[in-house]
Amino acid sequence: MAAPQISTGKPLPAVAVIGTGYWGKNLVRVHHRLGALKLICDKDETALARFRELYPEVEVCLAANDLFVRNDLQAIVIATPAETHFALAQEALLAGKHVYVEKPLALDPTEAEALIALAEERDLVLMVGHLLQYHPVFVEMKRLARTGELGRINYMYSHRLNLGKIRREENILWSFAPHDISMILALAGETPEKVLATGGYYLHSRIADVTTTHLEFASGLRAHIFVSWLHPFKVQQLVVVGDRKMAVFDDTRPWADKLLLYPHEIKWQDNLPVPARAEPERPDIPESEPLLSECENFLACVSEGKAPITDGREGLRVLRVLHAAQRSLDRQRTEGDHAVTLRSCVTAAEDTQAYFVHESAVVDENVSIGEGTRVWHFSHILGGSVIGRNCNIGQNVVVGPDVTIGRGCKIQNNVSVYKGVTLEDEVFCGPSLVFTNVFNPRAHIRRMGVLRPTLVRKGATLGANATIVCGVTIGRYAFVGAGAVVTRNVLDHALVAGNPARRIGWVCECGEKLPEDLSCPVCGAQYRQGEATGLAKVREPSHG
């Protein structure tokens, strides 16, 4: 019997599908329908037994490595969890296979870049499963945008909401938003300059269930994406607002109503804008299954050596926006103000336009550094650390691992901020200040499991050569004198000195030593003394 063919008359490539879960089973179904499916791979033996019954002529296997060495397979379809995409796609490309990988292409832009380079080097197809790019309704919407029928596009927004499917291996942003980002970038024809994301964490403290992502483009175009798996009903809607027509793609409606065009106008009467509403238009779009079109495109590109609509570079553009949105979410959790310039997320190597790192300094992976912060000569920022905006990290400073430093902090030369130490906003650390994190260290005994946390509250000043013994809290706007050894908590606004450090007075928020009446002679602020916390302000400064 002759091999199945595509519309060009060329034989179909033989395809293996790795992963048969929630979406993988659909890729199995469609490739089988197209006559290209040769092998199914999954770790779940029960699932494979079910597919043996459905498709007795198709081979099955448990290990992906078994199919990479097969010469009778030309293409690999990957529908496994996102964290496995890079490794599997890389192995497949190295084995000389064309690759289709479900969204997202990878979890980091540098990984995506590596896959693109590998595919181009070996002249292989690399395609990303951004399904809605192949939906006939979106194809028509994109045509309307490119031909100018919508006019100049001013604004876009998408809502992708449902009750479930709730995941734990990824948050709602990475689960739902890639499709919408892909569509918006395709319609915009440009990359956003800024990305701002906010999220809600209701079922898990670290996995966002609801996110809203705002995109700002150089042309003035704005877009936002609202996704949630805690919504009472299903919504899948993309709205494009042009100055000639407005288009609504609603994938929950019957086929005839999936795309509605509103030729509304804004007319001016007495120097005031007045909307003139019009009845919606319904373009005639032939109905077809988007996944079928997507898989046909992949097979045709493999057979003909063409680039897919959603090739690796398209996947990288989407990934950069996702990466920026995730960083913005992370900043929301640590800083509150979390707008991210997309330039800082182009690769894993941070963009020096967002902040400055001297060429002699070292910044490990999994580090967040706020805009405007400067990291100077021979400093080292270890993994898991978060540094806020507009900080100054002096020469030969070590931060981390897993240290949080707030906004506007200044750390002078030769300071090590070890794990267990937290600096709130606007903390000043003098040169050669010493933090400890183990109370009774021994070189021959590992005691990292008994770290004592140290907290330095907002606005505190820690003098040169001072020592902060672990397990203490330095109060707000406290002042630790040079060379002091702090062995117990320091109250808000307390001035301490000596070994061990003792309170010798009080200081104002502006840094001036306060007289007995606790009224600042410089700024005019007035304080009162509390029983346990130190000073509290009762009158604001008289200037500024």
User: CB–CB of 179/258 below 8 Å?
Assistant: no
Read off the pLDDT band of 544 (50, 70, 90).
Answer: very low
CA distances from 317 to 261, 337, 363, 450 (A): 28, 24, 25, 44
How confident is the prediction for the chain on average, in pLDDT?
89
- The packing angle between helices 172-188 and 136-146, to 10°, is 40
**What's the token pair of residue 73?**
């397979």
DSSP state of 82: G
Phi, psi of 454 (to 5 degrees): -120, 130
* CA distances (Å), origin 533, targets 473, 489, 504, 537: 11, 10, 16, 12
* Pairs from 410-418 (Cβ < 8 Å, separation ≥ 24): 412/464
Q: Are 80 and 88 in contact (CB under 8 A)?
A: yes
Q: Is the pLDDT reported for residue 235 higher than 90?
A: yes
| Mean pLDDT of all residues in 148-173 | 88
- pLDDT value for 349: 41
- Position 167 confidence tier, pLDDT thresholds 50, 70, 90: confident
Residue 417 has pLDDT above 90, yes or no: yes
In this prediction, residues 10-39 reach a mean pLDDT of: 93
**Which pLDDT band holds residue 265 (cuts at 50, 70, 90)?**
confident
Is the pLDDT reported for residue 383 higher than 60?
yes
Q: What is the mean pLDDT of residues 55-78?
A: 92
Of the CA atoms within 13 Å of residue 10, those in its CB half-sphere come to: 11
State the pLDDT at residue 165. 76
- Higher-confidence position of 400 and 9: 400
Out of 295-309, 321-335, 357-371, the most confident range is 295-309
Backbone angles phi, psi at 177, to 5 degrees: -75, -25
Domains of the chain in start order, with CATH, are 15-130+291-304 (3.40.50.720), 133-287 (3.30.360.10)
Mean pLDDT of 518-526: 89
Residue 79 pLDDT more than 80?
yes
Long-range contacts of 440-448 (CB under 8 A, 24+ apart): 448/419
Predicted local confidence at residue 346, as pLDDT: 47
Mean pLDDT of 215-232: 93
DSSP reduced 3-state for 363: strand
Task: Provide the β-strand partners of residue 271.
Answer: none
**How many other C-beta atoms are found inside a 10 Å radius of the C-beta of residue 378?**
15
For the residues 169-175, what does the mean pLDDT come to? 87
Q: Report how far Cα 273 is from the mean position of its chain's Cα atoms.
A: 39
Q: Read off the pLDDT of each residue in 236-265 and give the average, rounded to a whole number.
A: 93
Average pLDDT over residues 327-352: 60
Give the pLDDT of residue 334.
67
Please give the average per-residue pLDDT across 266-282, as a whole number: 77
pLDDT of the residue at 115:
95
**Residue 351 has what pLDDT?**
43
pLDDT tens-digit readout, 1-12: 344 555 556 788
Q: What span, in angstroms and rounded, lies between the C-alpha atoms of 461 and 429? A: 6
- 320 Cα distance to chain centroid: 8
Band of the pLDDT at 379, cuts 50, 70, 90? very high
- Name 389's Cβ contacts closer than 8 Å, sequence gap at least 6: 335, 337, 370, 371, 372, 373, 407, 408
Tens of pLDDT, residue by residue over 278-287, are 788 999 999 9
Q: What pLDDT digit, counting tens, does each position of 85-124 carry?
A: 999 999 999 999 999 999 999 998 999 999 999 999 999 9
Most confidently predicted of 247-251, 272-276, 527-531: 247-251
The residue-averaged pLDDT of 208-231 equals: 93
Specify the range with the lowest mean pLDDT, choosing from 113-122, 131-140, 160-169, 440-449: 440-449
**This prediction's pTM:** 0.62
Q: pLDDT tens digits, residue range 342-351?
A: 555 544 444 4
Alpha-carbon gap, residue 58 to 134, rounded angstroms: 27
- The lowest-confidence range among 42-46, 413-417, 489-493, 527-531 is 527-531
